[in-house]
Amino acid sequence: MNYKCVVQYEGTRYQGWQRQDSTENTLQGKIEAILTKMCDKKVEIQASGRTDAGVHALGQVMNFHIETEKSPEEIMAYLNQYLPEDVAVISIEIVSERFHSRLNARRKTYCYRVLNSTIPHIFERRYVYQLEKVMDGMQIANMQRAADHLVGTHDFKAFTSTKKSRKSTVRTIEKLQIEKVGDELQFTYIGNGFLYHMVRIITGTLLEVGMGEKSERDIPVILEAGLRERAGALAPAKGLTLMNVEY
């Protein structure tokens, strides 16, 4: 049977999603270990994408093929019994054998949260990047105009940390919206897929626009050049959350 699961996690203490030989402290590794124990047979899982170390998820999707007499509800209960307290499976269902959580994903939504205040928010500190230089409405509007240049289908080679790859760096961003919510600036990204570090580099670049270090007119030039060094800094991982994945 092929099972589709939705997983939530706080990524603070993990070395990202992807299993690694050098550490057992990955989300994929921990979940696979529990399923392997349950089935008494090696289980491999596929995820919609590989979140970086420190990145969080409200709606990561994964799937795996296993043979078991347990119901989906019993599998979910088993996983949650043994998963750490900062990881939880929130739904599970049997799907078509052909379903693949990454290959079949059509749209992903990410949110990057910036605490734009000189005063720390203690209970949110693991989920926001604090930027003490407070921006006014005009600066936020400048960032939004810069963001508008990135909406649509473009080659985002300048906005990824991957240095050399034969894979296409063309992606489509359907929505890139910046909203002020209380003391926060929330950057919402909706697109068909995102490159390694893409959301964090775009966020860092837009923040530089807001602070006057770059202009909105620089964005088309950066896209055209396709050079990582032309774009802005990599925003910290802790401000980023994968919100949901659509199929």
Selecting among 21, 40, 52, 183, the annotated active-site residue is: 52
Query: How large is the average pLDDT for residues 91-111?
Result: 97
Backbone angles phi, psi at 64, to 5 degrees: -155, 155
What gap in Å lies between CA 237 and CA 199, rounded to an integer?
10
Tell whether the model's pLDDT for residue 38 goes beyond 90. yes
pLDDT tens-place string over residues 169-201: 999 999 999 999 999 999 999 999 999 999 999
Query: What would be the CATH architecture of the domain defined by 2-95?
Result: 2-Layer Sandwich (3.30)
Categorize the per-residue pLDDT at 162 as very low, low, confident or very high, splitting at 50, 70 and 90: confident
Q: Are strands 184-191 and 240-246 parallel, antiparallel or unpaired?
A: unpaired
In the chain, residues under CATH classification 3.30.70.580 are 2-95
In the chain, residues under CATH classification 3.30.70.660 are 107-246
Does residue 136 carry a catalytic annotation?
no
Q: How confident is the model at residue 243, as a pLDDT?
A: 98
pLDDT tens-place string over residues 120-149: 999 999 999 999 999 999 999 999 999 999
Please check whether residue 54 is in contact with residue 200, taking contact to mean a CB–CB distance below 8 angstroms.
no
**Does CATH number 3.30.70.660 belong to domain 107-246?**
yes
Q: How confident is the model at residue 18, as a pLDDT?
A: 95
